[in-house]
Structure 1
Amino acid sequence: MAQAMKIAIVDDEQDMRQSISQWLALSGYDTETFASAEEALKVLGPDYPGIVISDIKMPGMDGMQFLKKLMGSDSALPVIMITGHGDVPMAVEAMRVGAFDFLEKPFNPDRMSQLAKRAAGARRLTLDNRALRRELSDGTQLMNKLIGGSPVMERLKEDVLDLGQADGHVLIDGETGAGKTLVAHALHAAGSRAGKKFVLVNCAALEEEVLAKRLFGPMMPEDEQLPAMEEARGGTLVLEDIEALSESLQARLLSAINEQGTPAETRLICISNLQEAGRTCEDALRPDLFYRLAALRITVPPLRQRGEDILSLFTRLSEQFAEEYGCDAPKITAQEAAQLLQAPWPGNVRQLINVAERAVLQSRRGSGTIASLLMSDHEEMQPVMTTEGKPLKEYVEAFERMLIDNTMRRHKGSIASVMDELCLPRRTLNEKMAKYGLQRSDYL
């Protein structure tokens, strides 16, 4: 059961405080009262789990000064101001400063309850949104699979959060192996449908007749599954390779979408994997269906655009494979780090997973190099040079960050051990960790 939303009531008149508190408590709110703005400010910090109702005219710090302090601390905190008769200009000024709304004395208690309900709903949405943003930045739960702090990955995480909170259908495109299905899972987890059905159908893997039955039915009596559109009702239906739908199935899908109305009973997330040069998902789908599906759109960035995230991913993956195979993760040289950063990665994350696993296996045998693995995937690739060069400074910094990160992981955050292995004085290590955003607490 959700915790009751708090309401802070600030008024210098005790009778007014108590009457407002009693009325709102009857409506299920958790109220707390303060006799002055100064007293309230000791409690009302950023992320306060509720809303504020405050009188404008109070001794000491008045309501307007109080409002400005609150807005400076948390501009999304809903504050309802109580004004005396004839103070409408002051109320208008309060709205300009950032007040959620105002009540004019004498006010109708039902009107106050309605305002409190709206304000509480807005506050709950804000706090939920912030919690999801923290989950993204902290890399917890499903979101920790969206690894990386590069600008393109930060934008992707923001897109996942924003579009996850929306309720429209989404089109995800990008190169093969970039992680589009993972993004679909993250979109579902970041929205109001999290915890409800998540159904995935690959449109290219089934014959047309079988696909039609899988999507729309009718299913045979012996089938244990419901048609996907019905199975995912209330949740999310992911259609991979959406461009593989025939004209007739596109028409049926459009009809099913139109029948749902707004908001949609079942949210569609469609993934496009077109590989043909010069052809897009827009070319493959009928226009009316495309524009219904692509109202919200995410393009997953290719691995080669993710900068030093490549090294973070490689480190994480090689550690996982090393644990699986019961051996040590390979240590890579500065030249190998540069090769990883410069590789074109046409297979994206899927290719990096394969390279990391093979790097662990060949390290266990005591032979082979990263360059040989990259060249075995693409014979035309030169060991170091690529079409997307970067300044030497970027390669050096990326390698340095990876080296400190790996060493901290091995020694479980022991600063003394890391200083000894890397031959670094304490001050230099601290400066470099601060520069690269590395925190000792992450390794303990």
Structure 2
Amino acid sequence: MAQAMKIAIVDDEKDMRQSISQWLALSGFDTETFSSAEDALKSVGADYPGVVVSDIKMPGMDGMQFLKRLMSVDSGLPVIMITGHGDVPMAVEAMRVGAFDFLEKPFNPDRMTELAKKATSSRRLTLDNRALRRELGDGTTLMKKLVGSSPVMERLREDILDLGQADGHVLIDGETGTGKTLVAHALHAVGANPGRKFVVFSCASLDEENLGKRLFGPMEEGGQIQLVEEARGGTLVLEDIDALPQAVQGRLLNWINDQGTPPETRIFAISNLRQQGKSCEDVLRPDLYYRLASMKITLPPLRARGEDVLTLFQRFAEQYADEYGCDAPEIGAQEAAQLLQAPWPGNIRQVINVAERAVLQNRRGTGTIASLLMAEDEAAQPAMTTEGKPLKEYVEAFERMLIDNTMRRHKGSIAAVMEELCLPRRTLNEKMAKYGLQRADYL
């Protein structure tokens, strides 16, 4: 759910700050008022979940001093300055210091609302990006995003921990939608220097001439810095490495060779060719391929991950249910079997789409999961299945999902789970041990 934005109104004139607060409150904003900059600084700091509206002329710390203090604490905080008649030069100086915009008294209230909307939208984007950067820099958080208890996922997490600590380049391949870029983030985050630069670029985004310039230069005056310099000392992720033209492959190989061993900048090369029945080895020059593939990770398709699909579907469904303010659909034995049998050509990305649509149709009280799976492939027949599995496997997968969901809903309360599932303590303990479920994970 989106974070609610606040507006801090700072003005020594009581009538002015109250009138601004009232108008913005009527426009749907959450406001708080302060009679001085000193008071405001006690509440408005780095990552403040909102924006600031401040008068320039105030006793004690004036608006300009206040603005400079705010910019030193959080340069991404939008501050709207209010100026009196004749203070426009000061307002221009405020913009130079870092103010978001300014209003000259007497100002149009609708203009205030318009600026507040723009400022809060900008602030929300800034905070979301910061949260994402923190998350991508946290190896523990990222590893938790690699959901699944299947043997192939256990091996994948082990490979990430091992290769993340290494120095060499890594080739990451797998079908579309399996989470290759997420794995690249995780490799960087669990490495020895997760705080170093992390740059992601798609080799399919530009033509040959511009691709070479973007990677290695020379760039036009005043243009972007070349990617090899932008990522220097960190990690350069090259998505769609198989789209790299031969000439650019040669330049990349020379750049890699010039770095020496260990390389100053690691390359994580990502390929989607596996889905097309090919590999990077088929399209990259051999010397480049073997430099990039000295370490390799192949992500498993969802159809090879067994009951992980139930865990993923339930997690995404709960997230969307929270976002849309409704209940997640209940998964019975038949629905669990249908999810397990589906081939999932779009892998995790497809599960996300189906989970969201399942939540929306559950909110309306119509539709089934089977119909959603059918809609994902117009050519599919009602029994859209992969290779069949023994009934015992379906039963066990459903049983594990049911216990897992109930444990999470009751936050690890064994008594509550026993009562809801009508299981004696010993039976519940045996089943949790069988499925690798630990009470501590739910507390």
TM-score range, shorter chain: 0.5 to 0.7
Determine whether 1:165 maps to 2:165. Answer: yes
Question: Does structure 1 conserve the Cα–Cα contact (< 8 Å) formed by 2:174 and 2:274?
Answer: no
Aligned length: 305
- 1:377 positional shift: 0.5
Q: What amino acid maps onto 2:375 in structure 1? A: S
Name the CA distance, whole Å, in 2 between partners of 1:374 and 1:279: 27
For structure 1, the 5+ residue unaligned runs are 1-138
Cα offset, 1:434, TM superposition:
2.2
- Aligned residue number for residue 184 of structure 1: 184
Asked whether the 8 Å contact 1:339–1:383 carries over to 2, the reply is no
- Give the match for residue 220 of structure 1: 220
Counterpart residue number, 1:327: 326
**Residues 318 and 329 of structure 1 are in contact (CA less than 8 Å); yes or no, is this contact kept in structure 2?**
yes
Q: Deviation of residue 438 (structure 1)?
A: 1.8
Does 2:431 correspond to 1:432? yes
Q: Residue 359 in 1 paired to residue 340 in 2?
A: no
Residues in 2 aligned to 1:433 and 1:169: alpha-carbon distance in whole angstroms: 40
What secondary structure is seen at the aligned counterpart in 2 of 1:171? Answer: strand
* Structure 1 residue aligned with 2:344: 345
| Helix, strand or coil at the partner of 1:406 | helix
Cα gap change, 1:307/1:189 in structure 2, threshold over 3 Å: closer, same or farther? same
1:175 aligns with 2:203: no
Alpha carbons 1:238, 1:271 under 8 Å: kept: yes
Q: Which amino acid aligns with 1:198?
A: F
Q: Is the 8 A contact 2:197 2:235 kept in 1?
A: yes
CA distance in 1, matches of 2:265, 2:208: 22
Q: Structure 2 matches for 1:371-410, cutoff 5 A? A: 371-384=370-383, 386-410=385-409
Which deviates further from its counterpart, 374-383 or 335-344? 374-383
Alignment partner, residue 129 of structure 2 = none
Counterpart of 1:296, as a letter, is M
Counterpart Cα distance in 2 of 1:325 and 1:213: 44
Whole-Å separation in 2 of the counterparts to 1:154 and 1:184: 17
CA distance in 1, matches of 2:295, 2:347: 24
CA separation in 1, counterparts of 2:273 and 2:412? 45
The 5 A counterparts of 1:271-286 are: 271-274=270-273, 277-286=276-285
Q: 1:271 aligns to what SS in structure 2?
A: strand
Q: Shift in Å at residue 278 of structure 1?
A: 4.3
Q: Is the Cα contact below 8 Å between 2:176 and 2:275 reproduced in 1?
A: no
Shift of 1:214: 1.6
The SS at the match of 1:313 is helix
> Which residue type is aligned with residue 164 of structure 1?
G
**Cα offset for 1:383?**
4.2
1:333–1:203: structure 2 CA closer, same or farther, 3 Å change rule? Answer: same
Match of 2:49 in 1: none
Amino acid at match of 2:284: L
RMSD: 1.7
Check whether the contact 2:174–2:275 (CA below 8 A) recurs between aligned residues. Answer: no
**Aligned pair 1:141/2:153, yes or no?**
no
Instruction: Identify the range of structure 1 (330-339 vs 382-391) with the bigger mean alpha-carbon deviation.
Output: 382-391
- Between the aligned partners of 1:327 and 1:316, the Cα distance in structure 2 is 15
What secondary structure does 1:201 align onto? strand
Aligned residue in 2 for 1:255: 254
Q: Which residue of 2 aligns with 1:97?
A: none
Distance, in Å, in 1 between the alignment partners of 2:246 and 2:363 is 52
- Matched residues in 1 for 2:276 and 2:148: separation? 29
TM-score, length-scaled by structure 2: 0.66
Task: Give ranges in structure 2 of 5+ residues lacking alignment.
Answer: 1-138
Q: Tell me the distance in 1 between the aligned counterparts of 2:418 and 2:172.
A: 45
In structure 2, distance between residues paired with 1:233 and 1:202: 18
Percent sequence identity over aligned pairs: 76
Tell me what 1:317 maps to: 316
Equivalence for 1:88: none
- Map Cα deviations across residues 12-49 of structure 1 (whole Å, 9 max, x no partner): xxxxxxxxxxxxxxxxxxxxxxxxxxxxxxxxxxxxxx
Q: Deviations over 1:98-121 (max 9, x none)?
A: xxxxxxxxxxxxxxxxxxxxxxxx
Task: Please give the TM-score of this superposition, normalised by the length of structure 1.
Answer: 0.66
**CA displacement at 1:388 relative to structure 2:** 1.8
- AA aligned opposite 2:416: S
- Do the aligned partners of residues 276 and 159 (structure 1) sit closer, same or farther apart at CA in structure 2, a change above 3 Å counting? closer
1:178 corresponds to which letter in structure 2?
Answer: T
Instruction: Report if aligned partners of 1:322, 1:360 keep a CA contact under 8 Å in 2.
Output: yes
Compute the displacement of 1:277 (Å): 4.0
SS in 2 for 1:298: strand
Q: What are the equivalent positions in structure 2 for 1:97-112 lying under 5 Å apart?
A: none
Q: How far off its partner does 1:425 sit?
A: 2.5
Cα deviations by residue, 1:62-120 (Å, 9 ceiling, x for unpaired)? xxxxxxxxxxxxxxxxxxxxxxxxxxxxxxxxxxxxxxxxxxxxxxxxxxxxxxxxxxx
